[in-house]
Amino acid sequence: MQISDIQKAVRQQKASISRRVEEALKKIEQNSHLNAFTQVFADQARERAQQLEEQLSAGKNPGPLTGVIMAIKDNINIAGRRTTCASKILENFVSPFDATVIQRLREAGAIFIGKTNMDEFAMGSSSENSYFGSVKNPLNPDYVAGGSSGGSAVAVAIGACDAALGSETGGSIRQPASFTGLVGIKPTYGRVSRYGLVAYASSLDQIGVFARTVQDTAAILQIIAGHDEKDSTSAEVEVVDYATTINRDFKELKIGLPKQYFADGLDAEIREGILKITNELAKQGANVEEFDLPLTRYAIATYYIIATAEASSNLARYDGVRYGFRAPEVDDLQEMYASTRSKGFGKEVKRRILLGTYVLSAGYYDAYYKKAMQVRRLIKEELNNAFKKYDVIVTPTTPTTAFKLGEKISDPLTMYLMDIYTVTANLAGICAINLPAGKHSNGLPFGLQVMAPAFREERLFQLGATIERMQS
């Protein structure tokens, strides 16, 4: 059922919210081998369903998402629940407050079914860097689900929820959406409040949505988007009504295809699949044109310098004093810090803290961090110039389909290259979406990415809805 159908069905009391919750819980149980959830809130979800049903019977309207079941990435705070970030260091940390997105979804009538597994502190592209073990791809459990929001993607793909929240720093929603055949949006930086999202790299992080259709994705973003006085980086830009703009004709749009995103390293079948769609759009009246984005080659290096620099600073707060785990049997304060962090963080997180500390250190700051900030600015300008010519930019989301579990985990550089098409949008602070674009002959899905200028999410939805109609 689409979210709009759920609305009608529960309002007319044609569908029982409790029954839908039971069905979701059953899916979670049947798919427990995929390791998508870190916590399941069975009893609370049942109670909430009953409350909502009572409100409906009393003639009340609990909100536009009444009875919509959602899964939440385990780096977003829900009051009274654990926020583990899939890390030992936060394994038993219980959040005293709701993130703003949670508060808004709750007020809209959504039901939270559980928290989802992820790469530790959102660092990774495969959801294998989890203290709770790897997430597996529902289409083939020998393959990864993508990351870092892999659990949220799987939760939606198996029907354990209607939509899920993930977070993005460099592709963590779009990439797993591509690997599991879903729609996944990274909103513009500042579009959605980050209050209550555990920080990885604050200048890149943004909460976003996974769903099975463009309409559903838009319906959730509608609720969570908008200014929040608790997050000074959230923007005071009006949120347009996505439901009314989504079906607007979009046939004469100008689509840019950056050559660098179709070059060597891209799987031939994915290239063909994406171009088939853009050719079809051209036939329907779109103006499709190739162009150059030469700075693309610096995107990965720039991203991994800035992301690790910010991470090393953000993660300094996990010292065994204020949050979560504290190493036992230590003699003094220094040893307590060292032992807590050595035991509490996983390998990839430590690698990034070291990298980030290095690029920020006095002798290397100018050569790495400062240079990366300058290149980031140029990348942003290059994209903004492209948007003077094109309404949207279309690319593949990932160079390959999902890879095998264990295949890249010991080679961080090839893992980092998985983000080659996605990091640019985070560096530039613009919005981007993954749309399911077809199935590879290996049986796994692949995705098409649309990028639009800052705060123009409605363009992603308009084109997304057009492509969805073309494929059905």
CB 73 within 8 A of CB 116: yes
* Active-site residue, from 87, 95, 125, 148: 148
CB of 321: closest distance to ligand GLN in angstroms?
26
Question: Which of 50-58, 60-68, 87-95, 168-176 is the region at the interface with ligand GLN (rule: CB under 6 A)?
Answer: 168-176
Q: Can 136 be counted among the known catalytic residues?
A: no
Could you confirm whether 172 is annotated as catalytic?
A: yes
Task: With CB under 6 A as the rule, give the number of residues binding ligand GLN.
Answer: 13
CA atoms within 13 A on the CB side of 443: 8
State which residue has the least CB distance to ligand GLN.
172
Per CB under 6 A, 135 contacts ligand GLN:
no
- Give the contact letters, 366-405, x = binds to ligand GLN (CB under 6 A), - = no: ----------------------------------------
Of 310, 391, 419, 457, the one binding ligand GLN (CB under 6 A) is 419
The interface region with ligand GLN, picked from 165-173, 290-298, 321-329, 355-363 by CB under 6 A, is 165-173
How far apart are CB 389 and ligand GLN at their closest, in Å?
A: 28
User: What does the alpha-carbon distance between residue 327 and residue 314 come to, in Å, rounded to a whole number?
Assistant: 20
Q: Which helix (H) or strand (E) holds 183?
A: strand 183-186
> Can you give the three-state secondary structure of the chain, one letter per residue?
CCHHHHHHHHHCCCCCHHHHHHHHHHHHHHCHHHCCEEEECHHHHHHHHHHHHHHHHCCCCCCCCCCCEEEEECCECCCCCECCCCCHHHCCCECCCCCHHHHHHHHCCCEEEEEECCCHHHCCCCCCCCCCCCCEECCEEEEECCCCCHHHHHHHHCCCCCEEEEEECCCCCHHHHHHHCCEEEECCCCCECCCCECCCCCCCCEEEEEECCHHHHHHHHHHHECCCCCCCCCCCCCCCCHHHHCCCCCCCCEEEEEHHHHCCCCCHHHHHHHHHHHHHHHHCCCEEEEECCHHHHHHHHHHHHHHHHHHHHHHHHCCCCCCCCCCCCCCCHHHHHHHHHHHHCCHHHHHHHHHHHHHHCCCCCHHHHHHHHHHHHHHHHHHHHHHHHCCEEEEECCCCCCCECCCCCCCHHHHHHCCCCCHHHHHHCCEEEEEEEEECCCCCEEEEEEEECCCCHHHHHHHHHHHHHHHC
Given the complex with ligand GLN, which of 31 and 193 has the nearer CB atom?
Answer: 193
Q: Which is nearer to ligand GLN, 128 or 457 (CB)?
A: 128
Nearer to ligand GLN, 123 or 444 (CB): 123
CB-nearer residue toward ligand GLN: 303 or 390: 303
Contact predicate 372/420, CB 8 Å: no
- 217 vs 422 by CB, closer to ligand GLN: 422
Pairing outcome for strands 136-137 and 140-144: antiparallel
The residue range among 108-116, 122-130, 209-217, 360-368 that interacts with ligand GLN, by the rule CB under 6 A, is 122-130
Q: Please say whether the beta carbons of 147 and 68 come within 8 A.
A: no
Say if CB 135 and CB 35 are below 8 A apart. yes
Specify the residue, 306 or 383, whose C-beta has the smaller distance to ligand GLN: 306
Residues 143-162 that bind ligand GLN (CB under 6 A): 148
Footprint of ligand GLN on 290-309 (CB under 6 A): 307
List 38, 83, 116, 125, residue binding ligand GLN (CB under 6 A): 125
CA distance 297 to 323: 39
Closer by beta carbon to ligand GLN, 24 or else 420: 420
Q: Which is nearer to ligand GLN, 7 or 87 (CB)?
A: 87
Rounded least distance, CB 237 to ligand GLN, Å: 23
| Member of 169, 217, 302, 434 binding ligand GLN (CB under 6 A) | 169
Contact status: 117 vs ligand GLN (CB under 6 A): no
Q: Which of 123, 153, 309, 336 binds ligand GLN (CB under 6 A)?
A: 123
Task: Write down the least CB distance from residue 32 to ligand GLN, Å.
Answer: 25
Question: What is the SS3 assignment for 14?
Answer: coil
> Is 170 a binder of ligand GLN (CB under 6 A)?
yes
Answer yes or no whether residue 122 interacts with ligand GLN by CB under 6 A: yes
Catalytic residue among 172, 178, 193, 234: 172
- Part in contact with ligand GLN (CB under 6 A); list of ranges 150-158, 170-178, 287-295, 320-328: 170-178
Residues 168, 216, 228, 391: which binds ligand GLN (CB under 6 A)?
168
Contacts 24+ apart (CB under 8 A), 360-367: 360/309, 360/312, 360/313
Q: Which of 63, 109, 114, 124 binds ligand GLN (CB under 6 A)?
A: 124
Question: In the annotation, is 125 catalytic?
Answer: no
Choices 33-41, 119-127, 357-365, 437-445 (CB under 6 A): range interacting with ligand GLN: 119-127
Residue closer to ligand GLN (CB basis): 120 or 216: 120
Catalytic residue selected from 73, 115, 136, 186: 73
Please list the active-site residues.
Answer: 73, 148, 172
Interaction site with ligand GLN (CB under 6 A): 122-125, 148, 168-172, 200, 307, 419
